[in-house]
Amino acid sequence: MTTLLIAKQILMTIYSKYEVYITPLLKFLLALVALLLINSRLGYMESIDKSTVVLIVALMCSFMPMNFIVIMTALFTLLHLYSFSLECAAVVGAGFLLMFLLYFRFSPKDTLVVVLMPICFLMKIPYVVPLAMGLVGTPTSVVSVACGVIAYYMIHYVTQNVSVIAAMAGEETAAKFRFIIDGLLNNKEMVVTIVAFGITVILVYLIRRLSLDYAWTIAMAAGVVVDIMVLLVGDLMFETNVALFGVIAGNVAAFLLALVLQFFVFNVDYSRTEKVQFEDDEYYYYVKAVPKVTVAKPEKKVKQINSQKSKAVQKTKSTH
């Protein structure tokens, strides 16, 4: 454990020292992965299905605010869909528009989940997102997670039915439109996944807020178990054809990932190196404030409380 804590400290020191470079690099990587995945899955518009375009856009994303990645990925998806079929682009575009208008107006910080969710789905570990959102988010994160699931299933449905939609080329626009909307609204697998993830987020949030020892780990374990159960019960009720092994293995992987996240991300001090400028009548100040790094303080505290108590008890005994 000590070596792990030391490793964490080293990482924290490196992060606070090179935060200026690491954050843009992470943003660049996220944008790159997201755009490459979109191009590999959809790739209908040749002009944006090029590595140079992806690289340039990812570079732009690295120094823009986080939400720029969301806008760019949405734009790439819509452009590809537009090249494939106008109706698909219209339906998916309407879906995106509703999400942005109705929900992300309230919590613009949560928009990243909509990008992360489809990426995690493609990596077969979507279960990590509700766990992580339950740990760091609030109960309202349920809506963000649901939006992420809907975004994935919209794209998934189109990629699954490419040949059918392409074969409908001669038919009327309204018929194609109806086919796509029917497919999306009657997708029971999507509904079951939303319900399972929603329950997971709320349960993880509720348990990790309890004043229990290891509340976070218990919350994660409970979240994983409930997630598996709801997905399997949903499979029995609506025949969603969920792969039993995939769900269990994915959830176990999600649990392990959440443990790593908890260790490296959630325990660290959130304050980072800050560079601030201000002035008064006498000076100009250019201050670089670096957070101090400390290890294992809580353990010491526990010992102190116990020893004080026992001393107090001894004192009272001696006076009697």
Partner 1 sequence: MLNEKRIILMTKMASYEANEGKKNVAIGSFFRSDYIGWQVLKSIISATIAFVVVFGMYIFYDFEVFMMDIYKMDLIEFAKQVLRMYLWTIGVYAVISYVVYTVRYNRAVKSLKLYHMNLRRLSEMYRQ
Give residues with Cβ within 8 angstroms of 303, minimum separation 6.
none
**At closest approach, how far in Å is the CB of 287 from partner 1?**
5
Q: Kindly state the smallest distance separating residue 93's Cβ from partner 1, in Å.
A: 9
Q: In this complex, which beta carbon is closest to partner 1, that of residue 214 or of residue 270? A: 270
Residues belonging to the chain: 320
Least CB distance to partner 1 at residue 94 (A): 5
Nearer to partner 1, 70 or 247 (CB): 70
Of 127 and 176, which CB lies nearer to partner 1 in the complex structure?
176
CB of 165 to partner 1, least distance (A): 16
Q: Where are the alpha helices (DSSP H) in the chain?
A: 2-17, 19-41, 51-63, 66-84, 86-102, 112-122, 128-136, 141-160, 162-167, 173-185, 188-208, 215-238, 244-261, 297-319
Dihedral through CA 275, CA 279, CA 283, CA 285, nearest 10? 0
Q: Which residues lie below 8 Å from residue 203, measured CB to CB, with a gap of 6+? A: 134, 219, 222, 223, 226
Q: Which residues sit at the interface with partner 1, rule CB under 8 A?
A: 91, 94, 97-98, 101-102, 105-106, 174, 177-178, 181, 274, 276-278, 280, 283, 285, 287, 289
Nearer to partner 1, 34 or 151 (CB): 151
In sequence order, what are the beta bridge partners of 277?
A: 286
Q: Which is nearer to partner 1, 239 or 274 (CB)?
A: 274
Least distance in angstroms from the C-beta of 272 to partner 1? 10
Contact status, residue 78 vs residue 93, Cβ threshold 8 Å: yes
